[in-house]
Structure 1
Amino acid sequence: MDTIFQWGLDFIIMIQQIDTPLLDSFFRAITSLGDELFYLLLFPFLLWCVDFYLGIRVGIIFLLSVYLNNGLKEIFQQPRPFDILPQIQKVHAYGYGFPSGHAQSSLVVWGSIAYWKKQIWIRNLSVLLILLIGFSRIYLGVHFPTDILGGWLFGGLILGLSYFIFLKIKLDFIQGNMVYKIIGITLFPVILLQIQSSPDIISSVAALTGIGYGLLLFYSYVGEIQPGRWLQRLISFLVGVIGIGIIYLGLKLILPSEGQSFYQLSRFFRYLLLGIWISFGAPWLFIRMGLARQVEKKS
């Protein structure tokens, strides 16, 4: 294992020999495309402005990937490059290194988009972003090359399994006993948070739970939604992002912060509301504002 770490450090040192302020800025921008804030804007954009079910699928796969990635890191407990050689670190990062969360998330997100949207340019863009985000983590000194390869490997496995998960997800949410669905969604976070409950885990599980409740409300009160023209979609996105800002940042200012009593509960509540807002609250509001059209109501 020491040999692998040494090889990884040598590789990072080699590519950092070509570093410049411009390259540093470029790869910091690229790596930000794998950060939480970017995905917090990407998924609503897909869901509200492109394809509701695409946004739901990609968002759920991403959140499940975050949960699994944190579990895998706890299992392997591998150091990051800067834990061994601090001077190579160019951006902030925390926790264990293997597998890379950025690499894993980029593969499941952009791989999902490329799979469900068949256009060649989308597939080419997805491959490019997956490669660039992975390389940026090496260049910035926060991951070994093996961390990136591991992230891609596990991301590929998750992506493959997700195909079977979503074959009947829409049908399952429309049909079946409502009481059983509510019980299932309610028990979901209780079970997962018994296994692991770090802040990132709380966020992903709470958002997944919120999406679950949101979908139940969506199918009960909306059914199907058709986005409006692109100007209406832009307005919808801006209105929706304001709601995200109120929940994500506004509540963060008034609810208990890390280290205070009830912090974990307040964090769960905040991300739960985010999931409900993105999957139901905002689409319902868009219809009421005339920015989107309710196509068909199913129960």
Structure 2
Amino acid sequence: MDALWEAETAPVLWVQGWGDRLSLPFELVTELGSQTFIVLLLALVFWCVHAGTGARLFVAVVGSGVVNYLLKAVLFGARPYWFSPHVSARAVESSFGVPSGHAQSSTVLWGYLAVRSGRRGWIAAAAVLVALVCLSRVYLGVHFISDVLAGLLVGLAILWAVLRWEGRVLAWWRGLPTAAWVGCALAVCVLPCLAAALWQGLARPDWVAPADWTGAVPVDPAAASLTGLATVCGALLGGIVGFTVLHARGWYDAGGALTARAARFVLGVSVIVLIRVLDHLLLGGLTGSAEAVAEFAVYALIALWASLGAPETFLRSGLARRPDPLPTSPNGGSDTGATRE
């Protein structure tokens, strides 16, 4: 890989040579694939637009995040500004670089929304948006072109699988007894963390940056990658549990007056912010495996609130209602549940 990165350093420097005047535009564009933006958008869709589409989008995007961080944790890929001191670090990342998480998550997120819209114009716009996000990652010095291409390919594969199989998988999930779906959820969300930790412990114990990585390498990217994996695995577990329980309780309708939708969003996000503040105050000093376990639990709680606690609060406060019976479609008509067709 070092030979490939050496060859790719020149194109990164060429893109960065376009000038500092592009820093702000590309910093704004790259936020469209960031964790904070994605969390807010997923919450907006699920709470305020269409609950069924929002739930499916959540599982697709967060599940993609699990795949991405698992690959990062086992591939140990450098970032351009780690590899070469000549590359400017216009953004800073602590986890490994292969594949690009922004490229992958943007492909799944915007691709899913565009395809489900059924409008060719939206699909074209999504493609342009994803391309700009990918370019921003190269310009900021945090990804090689190969990282971005890998993220695109993995994202497209996940998007294709979701669009092709989501209906069948959800129908199968709906028929599982409680013990079975709980076991499946735990396996899907815990085993990747254990596998990555085992790989790092056995295959690359006491990892240190290679001597030819002469840039600004962070202190412990292996631990940061494991923590990132634990974060998305915890979020996926909380979301799966929340959506499944909410469906069993009758689901909820994300429609209603604009004021009610706005109130739901403000209330829901306020609780998420509170949890994050408490996390920072109480657990901010943790490192290594303790940090990973804590982040798994915190993001499981956040996702459980978003997928179950918030909707139930909306229902009980009169900000939302249960959907009409016999919903029709996941992307139109009645506001469908996460496990309904």
TM score, norm. by length of structure 2:
0.80
1:203/1:267 contact within 8 Å kept: yes
Write the deviation string for residues 152-208 of structure 1: whole angstroms up to 9, x where unpaired.
Answer: 111111111122441134434443322322333234433232212511111111111
Cα deviation for residue 3 of structure 1 reads 5.3
Other structure's SS at 1:291 match: coil
The structure, 1 or 2, with the larger RCO (C-alpha pairs under 8 Å, 6+ apart) is 2
State the match for 1:200 in structure 2: 228
Is 1:294 matched with 2:322?
A: yes
State the match for 1:17 in structure 2: 17
Cα deviation for residue 20 of structure 1 reads 2.6
Other structure's SS at 1:14 match: helix
State the match for 1:251 in structure 2: 279
State the match for 2:298 in structure 1: 270
Whole-angstrom distance in 1 between the partners of 2:229 and 2:188: 13
Whole-angstrom distance in 1 between the partners of 2:79 and 2:38: 23
Instruction: Write out aligned runs for 1:43-58 (5 A).
Output: 43-58=42-57
State the match for 2:79 in structure 1: 80
Aligned-residue sequence identity (percent) comes to: 28
**Stretch deviating more after TM superposition (10-19 or 104-113):** 10-19
Write the deviation string for residues 234-259 of structure 1: whole angstroms up to 9, x where unpaired.
Answer: 11111111111122223332246322
Question: What are the ranges of 5 or more consecutive residues in structure 1 without an aligned counterpart?
Answer: none
State the match for 1:238 in structure 2: 266
**Stretch deviating more after TM superposition (278-287 or 190-199):** 190-199
Instruction: Write out aligned runs for 1:182-201 (5 A).
Output: 182-197=182-197, 198-201=226-229
- Residue identity matched to 1:53: G
Is 1:68 matched with 2:67?
A: yes
Cα deviation for residue 293 of structure 1 reads 1.8
- Residue identity matched to 2:153: L
State the match for 1:96 in structure 2: 96
Whole-angstrom distance in 1 between the partners of 2:323 and 2:130: 35
1:222/1:297 contact within 8 Å kept: no
Whole-angstrom distance in 2 between the partners of 1:223 and 1:217: 9
Instruction: Write out aligned runs for 1:207-226 (5 A).
Output: 207-226=235-254
Cα deviation for residue 14 of structure 1 reads 1.7
Cα deviation for residue 297 of structure 1 reads 6.9
Question: What are the ranges of 5 or more consecutive residues in structure 2 without an aligned counterpart?
Answer: 198-225, 327-338
Other structure's SS at 1:231 match: helix
Is 1:28 matched with 2:27?
A: yes
Other structure's SS at 2:321 match: strand
State the match for 1:280 in structure 2: 308
